[in-house]
């Protein structure tokens, strides 16, 4: 399960980096739409980084709680984006965020039960 979580983290980071890198390609000038496009890409990169940190510190309850809350908020945001902009990358992001959110929930529950507690 940890392996697939890592794959989802990398794919989320690549999707975000693609948004940031493609902003100048899809827009001629810095506009409100391009700022939102690039900002969403940066949010994806930061989300991947937060999940990567959680993977490195996987035994800490508070880390998994923070990551779960962050993933859940981003999942709700990207579900709204997928309704407004029904593009394939939005639906891919929904699938990735469902996976990240479920994994962080399971990891948080395991850490609360003490199964993965670090000493």
pLDDT exceeds cutoff 60 at 90: yes
pLDDT at position 1, please?
61
31 or 17, greater pLDDT: 17
Give tens-digit pLDDT for 19-69: 888 888 878 788 888 888 888 889 999 999 988 888 887 667 888 888 899
**pTM, full prediction:** 0.76
Tell me the three-class secondary structure of 33-82, residue by residue: HHHHHHHHHHHHHHHHHHHHHHHHCCCCHHHHHHHHHHHHHHHHHHHHHH
pLDDT at position 45, please?
93
pLDDT at position 22, please?
85
């Amino acid at each position: 399960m940890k392996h697939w979580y890592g794959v989802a983290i990398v794919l989320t980071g690549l999707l975000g980096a693609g948004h940031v890198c493609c902003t100048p390609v899809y827009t001629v000038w810095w506009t409100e739409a391009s700022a939102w496009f690039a900002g969403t890409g940066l949010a994806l990169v930061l989300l991947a980084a937060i999940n990567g940190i959680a993977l490195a510190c996987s035994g800490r309850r508070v880390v998994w709680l923070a990551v779960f809350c962050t993933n859940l908020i981003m999942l709700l945001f990207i579900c709204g984006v997928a309704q407004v902009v029904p593009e394939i990358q939005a639906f891919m992001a929904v699938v990735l965020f469902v996976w990240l959110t479920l994994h962080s929930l399971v990891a948080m529950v395991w850490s609360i039960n003490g199964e993965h507690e670090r000493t």
